[in-house]
């Protein structure tokens, strides 16, 4: 694990909300000013958010980076996070307007390490598209992230995005505005292809020309565990490199409480527990014991 992912690089600040807008059913994007965090965070990392001045809920919540906000000079000055309203914290977060305060610490986790590829295929289910806005922007060569800024080989980018129905699709226009090829599936057929996101992925891989080395496609995936397992199996079947970003519930975010462990195989084929917040949330799909 690279030292840039260590939790001691995280900052902890009280920040001011500048926007909190609805993107889809029960889905919002909150933006807050935090130049230190914005300059350090890289795609795939997460941060912990807590309601300022409140102990209800008492613990912070982990939320993935959606994207950074830059000023007119291109300097990172803020952070965007997309979240789904599913409990007390997110319900209260959705009620906040500009000027409200939040406590934040991050960046946390390892994120997506740059890997040369001819075609980056991002597979998302539910709210799993949230780590892929910054990743897609970086892969297209539109922005650099981190401190020092990362150098990433430009590639073609496709997003395969599955949701329950059209009303839950969030950020599709944002992805398409970047030039990302977005392919959608819904459980009820109200948008895109009816069925599972793995059906989209299988069709996309069928279209992929035979390539080797750095020109080969790579898959990154985030969403419900059953979907991650299905994508991992499909990637293994097709011989395609795949990394998964886990959405494991966690409490501290810095590796102290061991509440977010997942089973990971080592080089001998044996498995042990690894902390999603520190060793992850991004893992090689071949190493995960689903």
| Residue 113 placed within a domain | no
Contact (Cβ atoms closer than 8 angstroms) between residue 275 and residue 255: yes
Q: How many domains does the chain have?
A: 2
Structure tokens that stand for 175 in this block = 């992805």
State whether 70 and 186 are in the same domain: no
State whether 141 and 82 are in the same domain: no
**CATH of residue 127:** 3.40.50.80
| Residue 267 placed within a domain | yes
State whether 280 and 238 are in the same domain: yes
Query: pLDDT digit string (tens) for 100-145?
Result: 999 999 999 999 999 999 999 999 999 999 999 999 999 999 999 9
Strands 271-275, 261-265: parallel, antiparallel or unpaired by DSSP? antiparallel
Strands 181-186, 193-194: parallel, antiparallel or unpaired by DSSP? parallel
Q: What is the pLDDT along the chain (290 residues), one digit of tens a residue?
A: 444 445 667 899 999 999 999 999 999 999 999 999 999 999 999 999 999 988 888 888 999 999 999 999 999 999 999 999 999 999 999 999 999 999 999 999 999 999 999 999 999 999 999 999 999 999 999 999 999 999 999 999 999 999 999 999 999 999 999 999 999 999 999 999 999 999 999 999 999 887 777 889 999 999 999 999 999 999 999 999 999 999 998 889 989 999 999 999 988 889 999 999 999 999 999 999 99
**CATH of residue 77:** 2.40.30.10
Q: What whole-number distance in Å separates Cα of residue 80 and Cα of residue 46?
A: 11
State whether 40 and 176 are in the same domain: no
Q: Which domain holds residue 134?
A: 119-287
State whether 279 and 137 are in the same domain: yes
State whether 136 and 67 are in the same domain: no
State whether 135 and 15 are in the same domain: no
State whether 131 and 165 are in the same domain: yes
Q: Please tell me the total number of residues recorded for the chain in this structure.
A: 290
How far does Cα 8 stand from its chain's mean position? Answer: 21
State whether 124 and 103 are in the same domain: no
Query: pLDDT digit string (tens) for 141-184?
Result: 999 999 999 999 999 999 999 999 999 999 999 999 999 999 99
State whether 95 and 130 are in the same domain: no
* Cβ neighbours of 216 (radius 10 Å): 16
State whether 101 and 147 are in the same domain: no
SS3 16: strand
Q: What whole-number distance in Å separates Cα of residue 153 and Cα of residue 143?
A: 12
Task: Give, in degrees to the nearest 5, the angle at Cα 145 between 44 and 142.
Answer: 105
């Amino acid at each position: 694990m690279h030292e840039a992912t260590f939790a001691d690089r995280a900052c902890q600040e009280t920040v001011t909300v500048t926007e909190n807008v609805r993107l889809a059913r029960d889905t919002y994007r909150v933006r807050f000013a935090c130049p230190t965090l914005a300059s350090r965070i890289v795609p795939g990392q997460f941060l912990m958010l807590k309601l300022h001045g409140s102990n209800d809920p008492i613990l912070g919540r982990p939320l993935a980076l959606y994207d950074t906000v830059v000023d007119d000079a291109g300097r990172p000055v803020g952070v965007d996070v997309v979240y789904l309203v599913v409990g007390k914290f997110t319900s209260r977060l959705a009620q906040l307007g500009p000027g409200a305060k939040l406590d934040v610490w991050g960046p946390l986790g390892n994120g997506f390490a740059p890997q040369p590829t001819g075609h980056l295929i991002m597979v998302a289910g539910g709210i799993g598209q949230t780590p892929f806005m910054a990743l897609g922007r970086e892969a297209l060569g539109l922005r650099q992230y981190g401190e020092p800024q990362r150098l990433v080989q430009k590639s073609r980018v496709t997003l395969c995005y599955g949701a329950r129905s059209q009303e839950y699709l969030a950020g599709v226009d944002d992805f398409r505005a970047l030039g990302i090829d977005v392919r959608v599936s819904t459980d009820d057929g109200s948008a895109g292809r009816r069925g599972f996101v793995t059906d989209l992925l299988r069709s996309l891989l069928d279209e992929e020309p035979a390539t080797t080395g750095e020109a080969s496609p790579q898959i990154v995936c985030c969403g419900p565990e059953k979907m991650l397992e299905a994508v991992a199996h499909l990637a293994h079947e097709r011989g395609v490199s795949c990394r998964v970003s886990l959405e494991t519930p966690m409490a501290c975010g810095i590796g102290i409480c061991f509440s977010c462990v997942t089973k990971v195989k080592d080089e001998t084929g044996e498995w042990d527990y690894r902390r999603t917040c520190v060793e992850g949330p991004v893992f090689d799909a071949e190493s995960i014991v689903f």
